[in-house]
Structure 1
Amino acid sequence: MAEKGVKLFGMWESPFSLRAEWALRLKGIEYEFVDEDLDNKSAELLRLNPVTKKIPVLAHDGRPLAESLIIIEYIDEAWTHGKPIMPKDPHHRAQARFWAKFAEDKILAAIFAVYCATGEELKRAVEEMQVELRTLEGELEGKSFFGGEEIGYLDLAVGWLALWVPMIEELAGVTVVNRESHPLLLEWFEKFLSEEVVKGRLPAKDRLYALNRDRREQIISGRLAYGK
Structure 2
Amino acid sequence: MKIINDIVDFLYPRVCIVSENNLPEDNSNRFVLDDTLANLEKVTKSQLNELRGKVKSDFAFTLYDFAQKSDFEKIIHHLKYSGMKDLGVFLGQHLAGYVKLEIDEQKVSYDYIIPVPLHKTKVRERGYNQSEYLVKGMSGQLQIPLQFDYIKRHRYTKSQTKLTLLEREKNMCDAFTLNRNFEVELKDKNIILLDDVITTGATVNECIKILREAGVNKIFAVSLAMAE
TM-score (norm: length of structure 2): 0.32
- Bigger RCO of structures 1 and 2 (CA < 8 A, at least 6 apart): 2
The structure with the greater share of residues assigned to helix is 1
The structure with the greater share of residues assigned to strand is 2
